[in-house]
Structure 1
Amino acid sequence: MRNISLLSILLLSTLATPQKMYACSCMGYQDQEQQNIASYTSADVVIQGSVISEEEKGHSIIYTVSVEKTWKGQADAYIEVETSNNSAACGILIPTNESMVIFLNRYDNSYHTGLCSGTVPATSEKLITWLSNYNDSTEVEVQPKVDCSPYICNNGDQHPSCTKEGHQIQYIVNPCKFSDNEKEEVQVEDNTFEDVSSSHPNAKAINFVRNEGIVKGYDDGTYRPNQTINRAEFIKIIIASNFTQEAIDNCESEDLFSDVHQSDWFADYVCIGKNDNVISGYDDGSFGPEKPVNFAEAAKIVVNAFTIHTNPEDQKLSVWWKPYVFALSRIGGLPPSFTDPNQLLTRGEMAEIIFRVMTGM
């Protein structure tokens, strides 16, 4: 009842007397739990992210936010957030390069936040814990920002990279091959492994890497597509896809990693990878050859090995894996099964990435 009375007083006082000055007045709550629930349920989108730029337009400030986590709704890697430039109108000043939890309402085709929305610095551990517990089952992964720059061919032809709705077109082959009305299909011979059926989502990619001599499978005739792959196996396959065997055999380095020795079967591949800045290892000087590789690590290795272009603006982001995951996304190099940069890579997904990169660049 106290909350309703406060709101009624505010509304009546506004109607009774013409106001020349006004101030932002937020609803009062009995406790923090009640406020968190109200902020969350009234928001269309709840994100955690950092402001990377701001622009003042009329009576508004437009913040460009790099999204680190999405607690409710859906958000791109970058999102524009609008607020009033006047605190009396409930505008909120958001500091640059400081992680914030931002509660957003969507109207007029844009996202808005304000002093009463619940937006606070992400240093509020109680709020982070509350969001994790309250919304654990509906958390949504951040979708990489789509680059809709057209593909430009050597003959001057241009091909769209996005649909009219802004969804990225994932070409299986280089779109320039569609020039002059000559459409080409990537033909892959059906030469599969015993445990890879034609219905497997990565079957075509697995056949491709086998036909190209990139993988041989196991001695029992299987490929084990759903098995995770470790860092030693992954670097071996990626390096073998990009370098001649002679270059690999002749690689010399006395400074590999603390856990990689010259006698290891994968040492020559690690040598090439380190010398050509494909890999850098961990801060403690180790490589972790037996550790399962995740999508973030795989994206960095693939982008470096295949010299895939990264957006300079992405390099400014505080999250190390984003430039590499975004670069793969822009060329359609991510398999449909990708959901999380920490997701462990399977052998089937590894084949899918190689297939997409080698046939679609």
Structure 2
Amino acid sequence: MRKGISFLLVLALVFASFAAVFAADSQTPADVKDTEYEAAVTALIEKGIISGYTDGTFRPDGTITRAEACVVVVKAMAPGEDALEAVSASSFSDLAGFDWAAKYINYAAAKGIISGYPDGTFRPANQVTYAEMASMLVRALGYSAGDLTGNWPDNFITKAATLGIFTDIDHKVNDVNAPAVRGHVAFMTYRVADDIANANKPGETTDPGDGEPGDSEDPAGYLSDFSGRAYGILLSVAKVLNEKGDAVDE
């Protein structure tokens, strides 16, 4: 009898382990399995921060819109449905057709994660750039422009680099104003997802200066030695301009 019970227990454990492995494997889109993106993408899917396509792919080389990026960042903040519904509608004039993302965009605007363009638009269908994505992630960690030295996007790119947001892609990105690809967005978000969640827990406050290198340091000189690698990503930063030639602080 005991042998029978022991056998059943072992069998149950084997099936439980198999089910866990199968569940984890099923979370991984087919086109990132066994690639450099697998760990980051799978972890973010399990956290409910990102998702793949209905055909079972993630398309890591594809681009991501500003609306989609905003959803990713807000989901990393984990505000809860009640908090999302509680914020007032933003003043952005171009959210028609983006009902699926509106509450996330409104929440991000209310929390200072995004500011949009001087003409009152958010341009949700535009491709998000590396500079814009980095800026949203840094702000989600509790930093604001007032905490940083310099102008946008240089100040946020510098801070993002010191926070490790570019760790996996610093050698792959030559233009921070270029559209960010989905695989890189997954890397960037994965690096700080837990920190963002912790920084946005109810009652939690973030000290932007705690343990971080001074923002007044020269980014070219400092980052050339950061983790033993050169952060050329900063050296080619250019201002992002809107259609009228005004600087856009995203």
Task: Calculate the TM-score normalised by the size of structure 1.
Answer: 0.43
Structure 2 matches for 1:233-272, cutoff 5 A? 233-242=68-77, 243-253=79-89, 255-261=90-96, 264-272=99-107
Unmatched 5+ stretches in structure 1:
1-188
- What letter matches 2:157 in structure 1? V
Aligned residue among 196, 204, 222 for 2:32 = 196
**CA deviation profile, 1:287-309 (whole Å, cap 9, x unmatched):** 00000000111111111122148
- State the identity %: 30
State which drifts further: 301-310 or 337-346.
Answer: 301-310
- Paired residue for 1:218? 53
Q: What are the superposed Cα offsets for residues 55-104 of structure 1, whole Å, 9 maximum, x if unpaired?
A: xxxxxxxxxxxxxxxxxxxxxxxxxxxxxxxxxxxxxxxxxxxxxxxxxx
Deviation at 1:195, TM superposition (A): 1.3
User: Contact 1:256–1:274 at 8 Å: present in 2 too?
Assistant: no
Distance in 2, matches of 1:347 and 1:266, equals 17
Q: Which has the higher strand share?
A: 1
Q: Which amino acid aligns with 1:252?
A: S
For 2:87 and 2:108, the matched residues in 1 are separated by 10
CA 1:330/1:263 → structure 2, altered by over 3 Å: closer, same or farther? closer
> Who is 2:111 aligned against?
276
- Which position in structure 2 is the counterpart of 1:332? 164
Letter in 2 for 1:332: G
Equivalent residues of 1:256, 1:270 under 8 A apart: no
Distance 1:339 1:311, change over 3 A: farther
CA distance in 2 between partners of 1:263 and 1:295 (Å): 22
The amino acid that maps onto 2:32 is V
The answer to whether the Cα contact below 8 Å between 2:44 and 2:186 also exists between their aligned partners in 1 is yes
For the aligned residue pairs, the C-alpha RMSD in angstroms reads 2.3
Q: Secondary structure at the match of 1:266?
A: helix
Q: Equivalents in 1 of 2:43, 2:138: separation in Å?
A: 20
* Matched length: 168
Cα deviation, 1:247-282, whole Å, max 9, x if unaligned, reads 1133222x4201124972211111101111110001
> Aligned partner of 2:137: which letter?
V
Residues 246 and 360 of structure 1: is their aligned pair in 2 closer, same or farther, counting only changes over 3 Å? closer
**Given residue 160 of structure 2, which amino acid in structure 1 is its aligned partner?**
L
- Decide which of 129, 133, 139 is 1:304's aligned counterpart: 139
Partner of 1:356: 191
What are the equivalent positions in structure 2 for 1:68-217 lying under 5 Å apart? 191-198=27-34, 200-217=35-52
Query: Normalising to structure 2: TM-score of the pair?
Result: 0.61
Does the residue aligned with 1:210 lie in a helix, a strand or coil? helix
Check whether the contact 1:310–1:327 (CA below 8 A) recurs between aligned residues: no
Aligned equivalent of 1:93: none
- CA 358–222 in structure 1, closer or farther in 2 if over 3 Å, else same: same
| Residue matched to 2:123 | 288
Query: Which whole-Å CA distance do the structure 2 matches of 1:275 and 1:328 have between them?
Result: 22
Residue identity matched to 1:240 = K
Unmatched segments (≥5 aa) in structure 2: 1-23, 197-250
Partner residue, 1:321? 153
Q: Tell me the secondary structure at the aligned position of residue 127 of structure 2.
A: coil
Q: Are the structure 2 counterparts of residues 304 and 207 from structure 1 closer, same or farther at C-alpha, using a change threshold of 3 Å?
A: same
Quick check: 1:343 aligned with 2:178?
yes
Verify the 8 A CA contact 1:331 1:360 in the aligned structure 2: no
Find the aligned partners of 1:234 and 1:219 in 2 and give their Cα distance.
19
Amino acid at match of 2:123: G
Q: Which has the larger radius of gyration?
A: 1
> What does residue 204 of structure 2 align with?
none
Name the CA distance, whole Å, in 2 between partners of 1:278 and 1:359. Answer: 17
1:194 Cα offset (Å): 1.2
Q: Matched residues in 2 for 1:346 and 1:329: separation? A: 18
SS of aligned partner of 1:293: coil
Mapped to 1, the partners of 2:40 and 2:127 lie a distance apart of 21
Q: Which has the higher helix share?
A: 2
